[in-house]
Chains A and B, each alone.
Chain A
Amino acid sequence: MGERIIDPAAKGWAISWYEASARARLDGLLDAGSFREVVGPEERRMSPHLPLFDLPRAFDDGMIVGSGRLDGQAVLVAAQEGRFMGGAFGEVHGAKLVGLLRAALALKPAAVLILFDTGGVRLQEANAGETAIAEVMRAITDLRAAGVPVIGLIGGRAGAYGGGGLIAGTCSRLAVSEGGRISVSGPEVIETNKGAEEFDSRDRALVWRTMGGKHRRLIGGADAYADDSVAAFRQVALDLIGRAPAFDLATLEAEQARLEERLTRFGDCRDATEIWARLGVNDPEAVPALATADFDALLANLRETTHDAR
């Protein structure tokens, strides 16, 4: 059930991933007309908790799940709508993702794609949300152990925060755009707990160079960097499916070693620009303003941002 009147691809228009709704992202990501939604809005599986707080519900609870094709390959997809309750995990929202991942274990698709756009757990139904986060992480590891890659795509306005950031960490591969952010505690949370001297949440440049797409890609937290367009995310997703690492002891040990080394090398840095300098970036101050082609060239030069761990 798409939501377009005009086909933007036919007009040659690029669609911004950041600006697009979850449904529009799925519509442009998958092969034309191939998306089949499960537990669609017409089933009205809405939150049983939000009415207690006199808050409006959404027909799909902000989580759209189903199957489709990506360049002909069968995939399962889940997309979060970041504008509804900040894309936060509630009971129904989380259960739909858990159900999709468990179904994938039986269906064995070429990959499961998760289009993250979330601030974390929905506080109004936090127990159910936290449980869902744990169940999703377990389901992802089960799926990866069975040889199905789980690819996370992050470029929405809510980013991937809280439990969403934890889930992202369990994916086989992650793609991120400049606008995408990945972390656990959000800027406001850090400021509230540690003070503005520790982290000024209103300093947008600080937020993005600490949690934003370019930084995550540079330190190996994300495996691919995409332009902010639906077409770019489609290309990157296709590429990552082919490069998903095995999920075995060797991979986990390599990941542990990579993270330990990262802490040793960069643990005393006070700002992301110091990390970039140590990585060998000649002009760290210029990184935030780099266009995608120049940033890709920089990544190619650094080389060490590519690894098989995770």
Chain B
Amino acid sequence: MEKLSFRHATSRALPGAKPQAITGVVASGNLEVLLERTLAPTECTVEIETPIRGYGEVWAAVVADFVARSQPGGLRITINDGGARPDTVSLRLLQGARLMEV
């Protein structure tokens, strides 16, 4: 299992007040994303556990792109990966952020 951890600063807090949300399932080619509003308003962390080793740079790029698009300030995001492709990861992260806003 490879463990990755990213920390980003955002320009704002993610809108909404929902304290937590979960989306996705740990299955082949899929992943689950747990989002918790527990950090300072302009901070975001993403922790990942994945059985597929050696893709740290791809994860870093997908996470950076998500943070730039969603500005998910205040969120602690934790991922259990089941070998999802980068586009699926990106989709689930955006889905998760949206769930925290509604």
- On A, residues with C-beta under 8 Å from B are 1, 3-5, 21, 23, 41-42, 44, 51, 54-59, 81, 83-84
In the assembled complex, 5 residue pairs joining A and B whose CB atoms fall closer than 8 Å, in A order, are: A5-B95, A54-B1, A58-B25, A83-B26, A83-B27
Q: Are B98 and A5 neighbours in the complex by a CB distance under 8 Å?
A: yes
Q: Which chain B residues (26-47) contact chain A, with CB distance < 8 Å?
A: 26-27, 30, 32, 34, 36
Q: Are B27 and A84 neighbours in the complex by a CB distance under 8 Å?
A: yes
Which residues of the other chain, A, contact B82 by a CB distance below 8 angstroms? 56
Q: Are B20 and A83 neighbours in the complex by a CB distance under 8 Å?
A: no
Which residues of the other chain, A, contact B22 by a CB distance below 8 angstroms? 1, 3, 23, 41, 59
- A51-B95 Cα distance, complex, nearest whole Å: 27
Q: Are A5 and B20 neighbours in the complex by a CB distance under 8 Å?
A: no
B2 to chain A, nearest CB (A): 10
> B51: CB under 8 A from chain A?
yes
Residue picked from A23, A55, A84, most chain B C-beta under 10 Å = A84
A25 to chain B, nearest CB (A): 12
Which residues of the other chain, A, contact B1 by a CB distance below 8 angstroms? 51, 54, 56
> B70: CB under 8 A from chain A?
no
Q: Are B27 and A55 neighbours in the complex by a CB distance under 8 Å?
A: no
Q: From known contacts A21-B25, A59-B34, A83-B30, infer whether A5 and B51 are also in contact, taking CB-CB under 8 Å.
A: no
Which of A3, A5, A58 is in CB contact (< 8 Å) with B26?
A: A58
- A21-B51 Cα distance, complex, nearest whole Å: 22
Which residues of the other chain, B, contact A5 by a CB distance below 8 angstroms? 95, 98-99, 102
- A55-B28 Cα distance, complex, nearest whole Å: 11
Residue picked from A1, A5, A44, A56, most chain B C-beta under 10 Å = A56
> B23: CB under 8 A from chain A?
yes
